Amino acid sequence: ATEKIGFDRLLKPGKRTIMAALKKGGWEGAQEVIETMGHNLLEYFGYDYRKPSDIPTAVKAAFDHIMDGWQDALVGGIGAGGIVSVVMPGVRGKELNEPDIIPPTVEELTKKPIEEIEPQTEDHAIGYQYGLTNEQVDSRLNEAELRYRELQLKDKRTQEEFEEFVHLKENRTNIEALIEQETKPITPPKIKRTQKNLLALGHKIAREAELSDEEYRDFAEIVTGKRSMKDMSKAERNEFVSALEESYGTPKELTPEDYDMPITVAGRATSMRKIFNEVGKTLETLAPRREIPAVIKIGFGEDSIWQRAKNFATGIDNTPPYHLARILDSGMEGIFSEVLDKGIQHGVEIAAGHGRQVTEVLLNRLQELGVTDNDLAKMGRSVNPRFRTHQMISEGAATETFTETINNQNYEMTWANLIHIYLYSNQEAGMRHIKGGGLVIHGNMTGKISEERINNIRQKVEENPKAKAVADTILEIGEKIWKPSINMVSQRTEGKDIATEPNWFGLRVFMPPRLAGKIRIGKMGQFGVNFIEDKGIFHDRTKNTLPLIVSDVFSEFSSFENATAEYVGLAEATRTSRTLLNNSNIATTLDQKGYGRVRHNILAIHKQAQSLPVSEGNFSAFFARRLPALYRAVLHANPGLVASQKTSTSNYGAYVSPKYMKNVVAGLSWKNIQRTLRLSNIAWDRFHMAHSSLALGEMAQSDAVLRMWTGGKSSDINKMGWAIKMADGSALADGMVMAWEEYQDARNDTIEGFSAEWWANKDVDNMPEMNIEMWEEIQTKKEDATPEERQIAEQWKNLVTKRAEYLWQRTQPSWDKHNRSYLTSQKGLRRVYLLFRSFHEKSLTIFNEAKLDYEHSSKSLDDKAKFVQKGGAVLTGYAVNKFIRLAMAALLYRERKSIVKIGEEFLTSWMDMFPVFGKALKITVNRFIDTLAGEKTSYIGEALESFPVRVVNMALKAPPDMAEAIAHLLKGETEEAEEAFMRGIGRLGENVGMLYGYPVPRVKRLGAWLEEEKEGKPTGRRAPAKRTAPSRRSPR
């Protein structure tokens, strides 16, 4: 639409000159005003008024613009400032050649990445600033071109259509103008703040941040010079509250004054008031789970012990938010599902896409600057993939270290540490901290550092081309990707830019430990978060001079990217979910109807996913540090696990029609895995960042920084997990191929069953003819593809990717923090008793989904068949899993079991779904069958067991063995002493090795088998061994 520029906007650049002229009151002042306005007018047309030769051309351009636009102005209306919209062209954004916002050039973004080169355009470079992929940029330009042609062919246009036509006529090839036009309608109005609510908001933030009264008043004095808000003017209060928000964060909920502000949920435009209205209708129809008796007895509102046990063993404590939201939606996917599931998952996809873009740009830039993976390994330990032992004994493998003397103290440092100091000192606030408080290096405070010493460190970095290249790349990504994408979200959610600091790289300030005050929890269990919304990382408002912590710059970059990606993808979605969950009226209604536990679990999962990590006690912290290594020891070098990992693909049968289950082998094709990775950011994140299950995700944290800086490479310690990664990629590809086939059947109206349910609300009549081969052909054409081809390719990709990601979310193990249950979201010592639950938890959720669907159905024969199909898919997965494991054990380890024992395994394998209760049930059934069949009973084991605790216990049994060996030696019993000594050494080596991630038992078993093969021993059934408590199998 033609832009109307108000007179105030036109005159603003000459405001001071105008006031001076009015004071002078003479012709000379008036002449100066006219000249200034003339210069402003010419600048709007892009000409330099200092060059007289440009003036005639500018005047002609203005005249041509008036002649071209007069009809548009008449039809569009000449309101306030309307004439200016004819005289003046659209306001120009900042030119791309301005040094502060130069986007990545074509050369910067087009190096051969992980697989192949894709040429980039200037539009793509601009799109990166707004968090868009290349395909999304092309799609928007195509949509604009097609829409322009459609409007051009119309005989009559409405007022809105005409304004849209005029806008597209001038801007349909300008991606920046199109994005700004799209985001303009949802830019919120500035929140009106009165003296009273500023006071309340300031106190609320202080309470949530647990500031003491003295800290609160000191902070107020630093910002405004006054120690109490009562003494502040409205402007000062506003400044103080803004400083509190930026330094300490806020719970970030929408207040009642903001309920009519436009927001988006899973891409749908709405408002909080509309959401509350829909929630109200949903709650009216929600059936109560308990009746209110005539006399309410003590303890009525609490769940019984039986109910709590049921929730833990088989119920909602094991299910993620998408199932809990469906419970509140009476078994359907309504408003609770839209806000608490679809909105969040939409944000997760955006966050994964952001991480992928940053990683690709990072790799491209480093390759252009000649920085190799080996160069990175020499700079920082976090990006060195070699074993520490290998670094010690192999020349050139170790990360370079050197000694730096600061204030008469020597510090061993790496290039990663020096680059971190360099980035700190690039900022005014950073220099203030360093000169006033110094640095904290390896836990030691340096004290104040002189500017001369800082410059020496800076010079050392600048003289190393590779180190300087890394520093420049980090700053470039911060300026061109992080800040623009963050500000795009903050403008939409808060109406202002929050990332404004030049040369920004987050300051990590050392805060001395202090005694925390009481933790404030709302009456209804409400929660707040820090998240990246603690905007103090962008703007240091407190003017303090506390020391800065020096760490590995590669690790810091990875942390900031993860936080930025979460903010870009999830800031708005999580704010909406918190506003909904924390509403006291909704909480009260759910409580009264018996759904308090459901809400409690959603709150707990969201709180754990959205909050900063909390420090754990020493004992649980020990296990937390050991868990990734223990996961590695169990999962790596485990052929049975690798083969059975694929069996989770059987769960697809609970959500697709049987005809598509033939594709459970489609993922065995590497080509299909590659196609899946190209289509989906979620798949890329799972595959390259190892976020495919809770266990694999925790293991991957040890080399998460390396993966980001090298495009998914694993460290030596995690390389043995490549087979598991391929098995997961294969399972994802199965689901993607199913989505391709469903798309074709949906177009042809031949889709049925569970598959038809997902496609029912899609516009199947307007779905274009498209398949993976056609999509790839269009991608190969690149710029030669027509707008129509690009449009239909993007439409197809969006639909099949959303369908595949829906299937993955509901059937495959996941690392996603928002896709866990109440039990697997827990921290502390409790979680060591609930390990390896990702697969079992997903299976149990499918059973609970089937139960929920049946409860809200008409109980017809079809409904019973659907229940059986969902349950059958899970049981099939367990049966196939068990078959593969038994076959692999027989093949590799020569383990032979009787028919009765094999029957027991198949009969009871599905019981692993249930935590603790499942193990007890399994033991009971096995003992019953053994006794009935006259078999030797199996070792019972413990119903409640913890793999990490058992490993530690076994390691601690080594000292008594050593003491026994010494006693035998003193008695002259050499043979017994040797046996006890070897037993102790074996226990110590095996279990300590496992605590550090080495799969000692698995390697020993494979080694014994290889020795057998080498010596040519018979491969039949082994002779019965002495009956002892067998070592427990590694969980799925």
Cα–Cα distance measured from residue 530 to residue 534, given in angstroms and rounded to the nearest whole number: 5
Sign of CA dihedral 75, 76, 77, 82: negative
Q: 637 versus 315: which is more confidently predicted?
A: 315
Per-residue pLDDT of 493-514, as tens digits, reads 777 777 888 888 878 878 665 4
pLDDT band at 999 (very low <50, low <70, confident <90, very high): low
Q: In this predicted structure, what is the pLDDT of residue 117?
A: 34
Please report whether residue 597 resides in a domain. no
Encoded tokens for 323: 């199932």
Name residue 404's beta-bridge partners.
411
Q: Which residue has the tokens 């979620």?
A: 682
Angle between helices 838-855 and 321-328 (to 10 degrees): 10
Cα–Cα distance measured from residue 615 to residue 869, given in angstroms and rounded to the nearest whole number: 44
The DSSP output letter for 509 is: B
Half-sphere exposure of 31 (CA within 13 A, CB side): 3
Looking at the structure, tell me whether residues 78 and 137 fall in a common domain.
no
Q: Which residue has the tokens 């849209």?
A: 164
Encoded tokens for 65: 């613009």
Looking at the structure, tell me whether residues 106 and 163 fall in a common domain.
yes
pLDDT band at 740 (very low <50, low <70, confident <90, very high): very high
Q: Which positions ≥6 away from 663 have C-beta within 8 Å?
A: 734, 737, 738, 741
Cα–Cα distance measured from residue 751 to residue 745, given in angstroms and rounded to the nearest whole number: 5
Q: Number of folded domains in the chain?
A: 2
Q: Of 65, 87, 109, which one is at a domain's C-terminal end?
A: 87
Looking at the structure, tell me whether residues 56 and 135 fall in a common domain.
no
Please report whether residue 45 resides in a domain. yes
Annotate 904-937 with three-state secondary structure: HHHHHHHHHHCCCHHHHHHHHHHHHHHHHHCCCC
Distances, alpha carbon 427 to alpha carbons 423, 439, 475, 504, 927, in Å: 7, 15, 11, 7, 69
Looking at the structure, tell me whether residues 82 and 144 fall in a common domain.
no
Cα–Cα distance measured from residue 309 to residue 328, given in angstroms and rounded to the nearest whole number: 21
Please report whether residue 356 resides in a domain. no
Encoded tokens for 39: 């210069």
Please report whether residue 285 resides in a domain. no
Among 4-18, 531-545, 838-852, the range scoring the smallest mean pLDDT is 4-18
Name residue 444's beta-bridge partners.
441
Q: In this predicted structure, what is the pLDDT of residue 801?
A: 95
Using the predicted structure, report yes or no on whether residue 195 has a pLDDT greater than 80: no
Cα–Cα distance measured from residue 717 to residue 330, given in angstroms and rounded to the nearest whole number: 47
Per-residue pLDDT of 756-766, as tens digits, reads 999 988 888 88
Cα–Cα distance measured from residue 460 to residue 288, given in angstroms and rounded to the nearest whole number: 70
Encoded tokens for 357: 């873009």
CB 746 within 8 Å of CB 764: yes
Looking at the structure, tell me whether residues 173 and 139 fall in a common domain.
yes
Cα–Cα distance measured from residue 707 to residue 709, given in angstroms and rounded to the nearest whole number: 6
Count of CB atoms within 10 A of residue 12's CB? 11
Distances, alpha carbon 778 to alpha carbons 112, 478, 786, in Å: 20, 33, 9
Q: Which positions ≥6 away from 189 have C-beta within 8 Å?
A: 261, 495
Query: For the chain, what is the radius of gyration of the CA atoms?
Result: 33
How many whole angstroms from its chain centre is CA 799? 21
Among 51-65, 337-351, 410-424, 534-548, the range scoring the smallest mean pLDDT is 51-65
Among 78-92, 336-350, 721-735, the range scoring the smallest mean pLDDT is 78-92
Residue/partner pairs of 439-443 with CB below 8 Å, 24 or more apart:
439/406, 439/547, 439/548, 439/549, 439/550, 440/510, 440/547, 440/548, 440/549, 440/550, 441/406, 441/411, 441/413, 441/417, 441/550, 442/411, 442/412
Per-residue pLDDT of 856-881, as tens digits, reads 999 999 999 999 999 888 888 888 87
Distances, alpha carbon 494 to alpha carbons 120, 248, 490, 498, 816, in Å: 32, 16, 5, 9, 27
Per-residue pLDDT of 1007-1034, as tens digits, reads 554 455 445 554 444 444 444 444 444 4
Per-residue pLDDT of 337-391, as tens digits, reads 999 999 999 999 999 999 999 999 999 999 999 999 889 989 988 888 766 555 5
* Residue type, position 584, single letter: S
pLDDT average, residue stretch 278-295: 86
Name residue 409's beta-bridge partners.
406
Listed residue (157, 1, 185) closest to 76, CA to CA: 1
Angle between helices 175-183 and 122-129 (to 10 degrees): 30
Q: What is the DSSP string of 420-475?
A: HHHHHHTSHHHHHHHHHH-EEETTEE-----HHHHHHHHHHHHTSHHHHHHHHHHH
Q: Of 30, 61, 87, which one is at a domain's C-terminal end?
A: 87
Question: For residue 773, with 0-12 CB atoms within 10 Å meaning exposed, 13-18 middle and 19 or more buried, which class applies?
Answer: exposed
pLDDT average, residue stretch 703-718: 74
Listed residue (792, 782, 788, 672) closest to 734, CA to CA: 672
Per-residue pLDDT of 876-917, as tens digits, reads 888 887 787 777 677 665 667 777 777 877 788 778 887 877
Q: Is 453 left (phi over 0), alpha (psi -120 to 50) or beta?
A: alpha
The residue range of the domain holding 171 is 99-186
Please report whether residue 845 resides in a domain. no
Using the predicted structure, report yes or no on whether residue 671 has a pLDDT greater than 90: yes
Sign of CA dihedral 874, 875, 877, 878: positive
Among 156-170, 384-398, 456-470, 731-745, the range scoring the smallest mean pLDDT is 384-398
Listed residue (666, 668, 793) closest to 739, CA to CA: 666
Encoded tokens for 910: 């599905």
Encoded tokens for 57: 């051309």
pTM: 0.69
CB 717 within 8 Å of CB 387: yes
Question: For residue 180, with 0-12 CB atoms within 10 Å meaning exposed, 13-18 middle and 19 or more buried, which class applies?
Answer: middle
Question: For residue 718, with 0-12 CB atoms within 10 Å meaning exposed, 13-18 middle and 19 or more buried, which class applies?
Answer: buried
Looking at the structure, tell me whether residues 82 and 130 fall in a common domain.
no
Nearest-5° angle of CA 616, CA 618, CA 622?
90
Name residue 410's beta-bridge partners.
405
Cα–Cα distance measured from residue 143 to residue 153, given in angstroms and rounded to the nearest whole number: 16
CB 202 within 8 Å of CB 241: yes
Using the predicted structure, report yes or no on whether residue 679 has a pLDDT greater than 50: yes
Please report whether residue 81 resides in a domain. yes
Strand segments, DSSP code E, in 490-570 are: 548-550
Please report whether residue 665 resides in a domain. no
What 3-state class would DSSP assign to 402? strand
Per-residue pLDDT of 915-930, as tens digits, reads 877 777 787 787 787 7
Name residue 250's beta-bridge partners.
none
Q: Which positions ≥6 away from 595 have C-beta within 8 Å?
A: 286, 289, 327, 328
262, containing H or E segment: strand 262-265
Q: In this predicted structure, what is the pLDDT of residue 125?
A: 72
pLDDT band at 771 (very low <50, low <70, confident <90, very high): very high
Q: Which residue has the tokens 């100066």?
A: 32
**How much of the chain exceeds pLDDT 70, in percent?**
66
Encoded tokens for 842: 């997903």
Please report whether residue 873 resides in a domain. no
CB 529 within 8 Å of CB 587: no
Half-sphere exposure of 506 (CA within 13 A, CB side): 24
Looking at the structure, tell me whether residues 143 and 79 fall in a common domain.
no
Q: In this predicted structure, what is the pLDDT of residue 918?
A: 73
Q: Of 58, 87, 116, which one is at a domain's C-terminal end?
A: 87
Query: DSSP alpha helices (H): ranges in 463-583?
Result: 465-477, 483-494, 553-581
Name residue 262's beta-bridge partners.
271
Per-residue pLDDT of 85-135, as tens digits, reads 333 333 333 333 333 434 444 344 334 443 343 546 777 777 766 667 777
Q: 252 versus 738: which is more confidently predicted?
A: 738
Q: In this predicted structure, what is the pLDDT of residue 1030?
A: 46
Cα–Cα distance measured from residue 152 to residue 772, given in angstroms and rounded to the nearest whole number: 33
Encoded tokens for 145: 């071109």
Encoded tokens for 38: 């003339």
Question: For residue 181, with 0-12 CB atoms within 10 Å meaning exposed, 13-18 middle and 19 or more buried, which class applies?
Answer: middle
Per-residue pLDDT of 936-971, as tens digits, reads 766 556 555 555 566 666 666 777 777 877 887 777
CB 677 within 8 Å of CB 684: yes
Residue 271: φ, ψ to 5°: -145, 165
Encoded tokens for 679: 């289509």
